[in-house]
Structure formats: structure tokens, C-alpha cells
Amino acid sequence: MQKIIFKITKENSSLAADSRFECFILSEDLPSHFKQEFASSAKQSGKLVLGLSLSDVLAYHLDGIVLDLSKSEHIKKDFREQTKDLKNKFIGVICRNRRHEAMIVSECEPDFLIFRAWQDGIENIKELTSWYNEMFLIQSALYPQEDIDYQSFETDFVILDK
């Protein structure tokens, strides 16, 4: 069964203690005071909190980052540049939904790889996540962009924002 990573897009402090979630991603546009308070509260509850920018990770002492390298033409270089100041932090990477990019990102050794999923092309993404799960030890996550049956995917995590 997939573990849930919850992406927080609106202020809701009660989520930090919600037992359904073990990890959170804080949206960049949340108010600073909320990010600080939520990160502290989640840590007290033994939960992980990830950011979407290096500045948030450092400012709020978050546990790690989610990098979007899905548009990168220089994945390894961009990964190195964006993670050089992130010692002992968790790193998740969003990549294009193609085997080649998944392999390149995996060579960078993030903690987990993220595949986005839409209703259109869902069978191709299922095949990709199944292949990835068989070939790599690095954990994977599915980030549904629409309402889809995420439980039918072979990933370790699912990222939800609703």
C-alpha cells in the first residue's frame, strides 16, 4: 500500500497531526508564518516536511526538497547545482514520464523519483511506473494531476493535494 505525501496548498495547521500523512510538501506561496509554524508542529509529530525551493528548505529548516527537473535538458548538472547545499536532506525529483529521463535522474541518486499522471495516457504511465519499480531500488511516487485511481500504480508513495 502506498504511503501518502500531502502537498499543502492552503493554511491548515491540523494536518500536521493527521495520522494518514507521514510527509508533507509545503507550497511556495503559503505565508511565511504558516510555513514556520507548520514545519515545527509536524516535526513535533514525527512527520517529514519538504519544500519546493532551496530558500524554503533553509529558512524553515525543512527535511528536504522536491525538485522539478521535468523541463531540464541538463538533468545531472541541474541536480548537482540545486542540491549542493542540501547535505543530509531528503530529495525527491519530478522527471519527465519517459524511461530515459527516469534512468538519468536515478543516476543522480535522489531519495525518490516522482512521476506525474493524467487520465490521458494513464496506461503508459502505469507501464512506466511498473518498469521503474522492477528496475530500480530508488523509491517512486505518483503525483496525480487529475482524479485517477492512484492505487493501481506500482509506486511507493502518492502525492495528494486534496
Give the pairing type, strands 64-68 and 48-51. parallel
Question: Domain residue spans in the chain?
Answer: 3-160
CB of 87 closer than 8 Å to CB of 113: no
Residue whose cell numbers read 519530478: 94
Residue 120 has pLDDT above 90, yes or no: no
pTM of model > 0.75: yes
Among 140, 136, 135, smallest CA distance to 159 is for: 140
What's residue 162's pLDDT?
Answer: 81
Q: How does pLDDT run across 142-153, given as a tens digit for each residue? A: 999 988 999 999
Q: Could you tell me which residues are beta bridge partners of residue 25?
A: 7, 50
pLDDT of 119 higher than 90: no
As its CATH architecture, domain 3-160 has Alpha-Beta Barrel (3.20)
Q: Tens of pLDDT along 1-20?
A: 899 999 999 999 999 999 99
As a whole number, mean pLDDT of residues 85-104 equals 96
Nearest to 99 by CA among 67, 64, 140: 140
Per-residue confidence (pLDDT) for residue 115, from 0 to 100:
97
